[in-house]
Amino acid sequence: MNKKLKLRSTLVLSVLFLITVASLIPFLWMISTSLKSSEALMALPIEWIPKKVSFESYIKVLTELPFLKSTLNSLIVTLSSTILTLFSASLAAFIFAKYDFKYKNILFILFLTSMMIPIQVTGIPIFIILTKMGLNNSFAGVIFPSVYNVFAIFLLRQYMKNISNEFIEAAYMDGANIFQIYFKIIIPMSIVPLTTLFVINFMHFWNDYFWPLIILTDPNKVTLPVLLSKLNAQYGTEYNTLMAGSLISMTPILIVYIFAQKYFIRGIQEGGIK
């Protein structure tokens, strides 16, 4: 029996290893292509490892394009949107998890139902609202829609329901109000799901192309995904330049995940158990 289990584990690990290697091939190809000179791009046979490493594509991206400006724009939009999402979603989740009010369950079901509506459907009415508010061509216009995130509310609500009500009751007895309970009890005890959502939403807003493309018309305000789309049009045949730009744009996501991976993995595991 032990031999069978060992053989099965070996087979499973072997398959997972092959899948991992296969999934890494496109990423390794991006790195290889970005380090090739223009002459080596179409060389036959294909050079998986460049014979001559060249950084001309990285230099072109950083000097000929407003890459750093767009990166700063993306950081402003991404961090602001992520923080706004976590704040609004945690407040809503706290109320749904710990307070009873009329039609609470019906309202929560309506919240969940809205997850089925694609952004292409709600995009036009949201755009009209933002236009009437005078938020077109502004970072606020890109950030404002992130105030509503049903998935974040749902995930945090499920986690907060498992926080003992005795903490809240004790805080009330000590004279704490609802906001003190939220900031000093609920938020510290929900740091794991909040970190998980931070990583997920950071990745989402960093890679968001649709909304910044619609709202931002000033070239000085474009975010990185929009700039990369223009890069594809301008340097469509210069694959080394395209790969260099894409790799640089991935750096902030990798940094965030490296620092938050412990909480991210723990949040996914605890969320699955609960």
Q: Are 135 and 141 in contact (CB under 8 A)?
A: yes
- pLDDT at position 241, please? 81
Report, as ranges of residue numbers, the positions in the chain whose pLDDT lies below 50. 271-274
Encode 7-66 in three state secondary structure: HHHHHHHHHHHHHHHHHHHHHHHHHHHHCCCHHHCCCCCCCCCCCCCCCHHHHHHHHHCC
Tens of pLDDT, residue by residue over 13-47, are: 888 889 988 888 888 888 888 888 776 777 667 77
Instruction: Note the pLDDT tens digit of each residue in 62-79.
Output: 887 788 888 899 999 999
140-167 pLDDT tens trace:
889 988 888 888 898 888 888 888 888 8
- Whole-number pLDDT of residue 272: 45
- Sketch the domain layout of the chain as residue ranges: 60-273
Dist. CA 193–CA 266, nearest whole Å: 8
- Distance set, CA 71 to CA 30, 45, 59, 226, 252 (Å): 20, 36, 16, 11, 9
The superfamily (CATH) of domain 60-273 is: MetI-like (1.10.3720.10)
Please say whether the beta carbons of 185 and 165 come within 8 A: no
